[in-house]
Structure 1
């Protein structure tokens, strides 16, 4: 019985690997969910906190 470990590992060639990655990314794009509120993305990137979908004000967080 012959071991086929080299054949079974990896895509085989660089071109085949790129083609496989392209096809996986292409199929994943069909299931991606669109951002519901693109105007809030800047707030999230700036470090704003949301709780149950509502913006938490800074003075609420410093209630210690």
Structure 2
């Protein structure tokens, strides 16, 4: 199917562009969902590693031969 409308670049006013962006964000926000595990967020920011949602505790023990 061919898109047959022609529109020149820069034909929108600044106010119309802002309105279009607002409507796009408004439509997208209706499908957003709450994140799970928000209690883990401070750990993620601190740089703690997770594998499959489980915190990985690095083994700092060194065994000499």
TM-score by length of 1: 0.71
Unaligned residue ranges in structure 1 (runs of 5+): none
**Aligned length, in residue pairs:** 55
Q: Which has the larger radius of gyration?
A: 2
Instruction: Please state if 1:55 is matched with 2:59.
Output: no
**Distance in 2, Cα, partners of 1:32 & 1:8:** 33
TM-aligned CA deviation for residue 37 of structure 1:
1.2
Which runs of structure 1 show a deviation greater than 4 angstroms over 4 or more consecutive aligned residues?
none
TM-score by length of 2: 0.70
Q: Which has the higher helix share?
A: 1
Evaluate the alpha carbon distance shift between residue 39 and residue 12 of structure 1 in structure 2; reply closer, same or farther with a 3 A threshold.
same
Unaligned residue ranges in structure 2 (runs of 5+): 1-5, 61-65
**Distance in 2, Cα, partners of 1:32 & 1:56:** 29
Evaluate the alpha carbon distance shift between residue 10 and residue 58 of structure 1 in structure 2; reply closer, same or farther with a 3 A threshold.
farther
TM-aligned CA deviation for residue 9 of structure 1:
2.2
